[in-house]
Structure 1
């Protein structure tokens, strides 16, 4: 939706709401004393004088082409492109995002490598020989030992 049209529509709705509120307030002033009614009238007049004036004119453009596709029609208003600086800033943002993804990938790979290295170091410095980890019975013992809440092996 066009921003200027949206602003005009919003201003129109605000004006209608203001008129309804003013009418409601005016209807309620009949039972008030004269001096309070006058003060309210002056305050309303000041508020109306200070309110933002609505935008009365919209920019109109002529469509440069119209195309039809089945039951739909499309109007084109010429080149509304970004221009050189728009394309340059878009390309810079895409490059920055791609560089960020590469950095995240490298960091995650380094973290995985560090975890595997720590696991290997723990296996090699443990009291058990590495062949014990290949034994299916030992693997079953590890699975059942951790599922019972032991959490860690005792030496």
Structure 2
């Protein structure tokens, strides 16, 4: 109902309440029966629905996060993570060792005097050493 209809209903109710004592008994009875009929036709209220959030995800992932994981499922998550960490650590150590070996080779070549003295004055050789020493 909009505000105009609501205001009209309040005015009618107020007018009826003011003259309630002056109405004849037959009119009061008819109003009472009309009220009972109107109340019987009123829509029944639906039961209240409460939102109960659950942390579930549809599909197989929902089982993993909604319930406790079995030891097999936990291993299925932990083993790939451990393999990943070990693999990255191995790659890091390999690259470090390769860099150390390359630097050692350059140092050995410089210290063994296999290069002529003019090589040390060449800017390209310095660039070569800088590139190989990275």
Same fold (TM over 0.5): no
TM-score by length of 2: 0.40
Structure number with higher strand proportion: 1
Structure number with higher helix proportion: 2
